[in-house]
Structure 1
């Protein structure tokens, strides 16, 4: 079964790799941060 949280964890891993390998993208990091908060609230 594929859950939103699995997808979210995978997206975070990809974003971290992208941030390491390329120049920082503030807009992308901001989007990830905004998306993280509601998911964390749902999980807790």
Structure 2
């Protein structure tokens, strides 16, 4: 039997996983963004 409480717990687990993924992606994007201006500056 799948209860409302079980569904809510699963939803919270999925939200926590999504938040971890989002943090990881933003950290990766920040590193990429930090590298790009330096590369552009060298080409100029």
TM-score normalised by structure 1 residue count:
0.49
Higher-Rg structure is 2
Higher RCO, Cα 8 Å, sep 6+: 1
Q: Which has the higher helix share?
A: 2
